[in-house]
Chains A and B, each alone.
Chain A
């Protein structure tokens, strides 16, 4: 009753929504880089929102279902096959015992979420299954290990559910140019007008230096007068401006505290979108109202947590 990984690809990790409540002792939250796709993958199976999934970054990926079940795929645009049959992304699908799932390298986007009915049955560490490689927390042996070829992930065999897909309007477009909403918080007010104008009017490019901790961007230099900054807590989406003036957006595996000034925070919705951006993607920042963004988050939570 396991999923046997045939090809783990570049980086495949067990994730639930994250390890909360321990940042005061330096424990990383982790969790899905793209919460939106993660929520949908569980929802398509009527799973609890926090059920454990596999986050497949880039791939290619292949695995064998050793017992019949229902699974779902959400996220990057990949060619997904069950044996030889092409199956839809943002959809759930029935697998029979022995079926082989294979995912190509993504055509658009970066990360695919593979959920299974009932969730993968992996042990929790500090209340979460999320894998944080840097902390050596979570994963199959709870040492922050990424998935390897031959790993077997237990799941409960499940009566087939009806297959269904996400509504079109909820499926994001992982375009070559994306607009990213920024909440004008943290040290936003301490940047001068020229710096703010540069940040909001210039186009920034995603560099190859991207990982689960942070996305380094490049573009016009943003100046901040005072680089002697006292370390403070870092919220997800914080946009750090180090001395070289090139922004770094902090993602799910960010450290808990940091000593760079921050020009604001990427809003929750667009942090999920940014997590699917590949090197070369163009970014146009715009100011996002905090309370509109909060209303959207509340709506999302309400939608995915309704019974």
Chain B
């Protein structure tokens, strides 16, 4: 671990040089511990693949004192506690019908795999929430099987429909709201991912494990899905 100052009230903790499940587990643990230990002086906390960016309330604490608090919190970590922060497992229903899988032809062509098989591969594993960003509730999930990895579109769509499930390289994600976006769209979930009236706000939290489950059109519509 390496702690570096960033600006007048921010610092960043680096945990590793490359992305791995072990690092993600550890970051998830540290993220929860820092929130618990230093919650009242933390202004914002941004966990990501290999780092956590922290800013403090500069009216409550100076940068040097904040750095000392963070260092002492980091010195009090116990790897045995990592298991106390076991990630939540979430199953998300997805309709993979051709009318919502806007890029099903492209991805089949690119990978040489029939779309029905792509669905099987996509729903076959648990994906880890490595980071949340780009838009509120937009979780970067990984890693999809190499056979169905596909680069982003050359020219992004101006309007990706809300709930769209998509792939970019070995990552997959769900668009919580209608927005521009360049990922390859393979389905749509009827589930609302962002609800500002709930405590967690977002369906996904850092470290969660997400599995997609294929549903048919009727179920999609019955669950409130919009075509």
Q: Give A residues with C-beta under 8 Å from B.
A: 20-29, 125-126, 134-137, 183, 185-186, 230-237, 255-258, 265, 267-268, 290-291, 293-294, 296-298, 301, 305
Contacts and interface: CB of A to CB of B under 8 A. Distances in A.
Given A290-B5, A293-B8, 15 more contacts: A20-B43, A22-B201, A24-B132, A25-B137, A135-B136, A230-B18, A231-B48, A231-B49, A231-B131, A236-B7, A265-B6, A268-B8, A291-B64, A296-B8, A297-B58
Of listed B10, B49, B133, B200, residue having the most chain A CB within 10 A: B133
B53 A235 contact: yes
Given A26-B136, A27-B201, A298-B62, A232 B4 contact: no
B19 A24 contact: no
B44 A23 contact: yes
Contact of A185 (B4, B51, B132, B196): B4
B51 A232 contact: yes
Given A230-B50, A234-B53, A255 B134 contact: yes
A301 to B, nearest CB: 5
Given A22-B201, A26-B138, A294 B9 contact: yes
Contact of A27 (B19, B43, B48, B136): B136
A297 B8 contact: yes
B53 A233 contact: yes
B6 A185 contact: yes
| A-B CB proximity, top 9 nearest | A233-B53, A233-B46, A257-B133, A25-B202, A297-B8, A265-B7, A23-B44, A294-B8, A256-B133
Given A232-B50, A233-B53, A29 B7 contact: no
Given A21-B44, A233-B12, A301 B58 contact: yes
Q: How many B residues are at the interface, by size bracket?
A: 35 or more
Contacts of A305: 59
B34 to A, nearest CB: 11
A232 B27 CA distance: 13
Contacts of B201: 22, 25, 27, 126
A268 B7 contact: yes
Contacts of A28: 136
Given A22-B201, A26-B202, A301-B59, A235 B10 contact: yes
A257 B48 contact: yes
Interface string B196-227: 10001110011000000000000000000000
8 contacts: A23-B44, A24-B206, A230-B18, A230-B48, A230-B51, A255-B133, A255-B134, A267-B7
A235 B133 contact: no
A134 B178 CA distance: 10
A220 to B, nearest CB: 25
A293 B10 CA distance: 12
B168 interface: no
Nearest to B132: A26
Given A24-B47, A233-B51, A294 B133 contact: no
A125 to B, nearest CB: 7
Contacts of A290: 5, 7-8, 63
Of listed B58, B140, B179, residue having the most chain A CB within 10 A: B58
Of listed B43, B44, B50, B138, residue having the most chain A CB within 10 A: B44
Contacts of B49: 230-232
A298 B9 CA distance: 10
Contacts of B5: 185, 290
Nearest to B46: A233
Given A22-B201, A230-B49, A233-B48, A186 B133 contact: no
B19 A230 contact: yes
Contacts of A257: 46, 48, 131, 133-134
Interface in B177-201: 177, 179, 196, 200-201
